Amino acid sequence: MDSQCSSSVGNINSTPVSARIESYEGEKKCISDVRRTFCLFVTFDLLFVTLLWIIELNVNGGIKEQLRKEVLEYDYHQSFFDIFLLAVFRFAALILAYAVCKLRHWWAIAITTTIATGFLIVKVVVSKLLSQGAFGYLLPIISFILAWIETWLLDFKVLPQEAGDEIRYLSVQNTLDQEPLLYPGPVSEGQFYSPPESMADSDEDLDDKHDLEKPIV
C-alpha cells in the first residue's frame, strides 16, 4: 500500500513537469505563438499596402496605364510605387530575420523601421503626393503606422514573452533534475519483512516458561 502511494505521488508530480518541458521544447523547434502572430501581422502589412496601391492605380485611370506611368516612367515626386517597394522590403527583411533565422534581438526591426520612417518623411516633404487626393495622405500614413505597430509588437510582446518562457523552462528543468531527491522511489516489501521464529527458539522459550512455573521447594 505504501509503495503504491509513493509511486503515485511521484507520477503525479513528474507528469506535469515533463509535459511542460516537452511542450516548450516543441515550441523551440518550430516557432512560438506570439512570434507567429507577429509574422502574420508583417504579412498583413504587405498585403494591405499592396491592396491600397492597386485601388489607387484603378481609381486614377486604370491599372495598366497607371502601372506604366508609376513603374516604367517612375517619378519620385508623384509615384506610389516606392511605398509599395518599401512594404516589400519590410516584409522580406522581417520574415527573414524573425521567421527564418529566428532572431531574438530588436536590431533588425530597428533598421527597417528607421529606414521606413526616414523615407516616408522625406517622401511627404519633398514629393507632390499631398496634391493627388486621399491616397496621397492615406498610403504614407498607413505605411508609417504599420511599421511602428510591428516595432511595438516585437519589442513589447514577442521578445519579453519568449524570454519569460525560457526562464520558466529553465526553472522547470531544474525542478525535474531535483525530482529524484524530492520524491523517493517506491518502498519494497522486503524492508518490512520479518523472518519467522525458528522452532528451536520456540522450544527454549517454552522450557523457560515451565521452569518459572515450577514451585520453589
48 domain residue, yes or no:
yes
117 domain residue, yes or no:
yes
In this prediction, residue 134 carries a pLDDT of 86
208 domain residue, yes or no:
no
In this prediction, residue 194 carries a pLDDT of 54
56 domain residue, yes or no:
yes
196 domain residue, yes or no:
no
pTM over the 0.75 mark: no
12 domain residue, yes or no:
no
Question: For residue 133, what is the DSSP state?
Answer: -
What is the C-alpha to C-alpha distance for residues 151 and 115, in angstroms, rounded to an integer? Answer: 13
Domain ranges, residue 100: 32-177
> Burial, 54: exposed, middle or buried (Cβ in 10 Å; 0-12, 13-18, 19+)?
middle
Q: How many CB atoms lie within 10 A of CB 142?
A: 17
- The count of structural domains within the chain is 1
Q: How many CB atoms lie within 10 A of CB 31?
A: 14
90 domain residue, yes or no:
yes
In this prediction, residue 133 carries a pLDDT of 82
In this prediction, residue 149 carries a pLDDT of 97
In this prediction, residue 179 carries a pLDDT of 59
Rounded mean pLDDT for each run of 10 residues along the chain, 217 residues in total: 45 49 57 94 97 91 88 91 96 97 95 97 89 87 97 95 87 70 52 52 52 49
In this prediction, residue 21 carries a pLDDT of 52
187 domain residue, yes or no:
no
CB 146 within 8 A of CB 49: yes
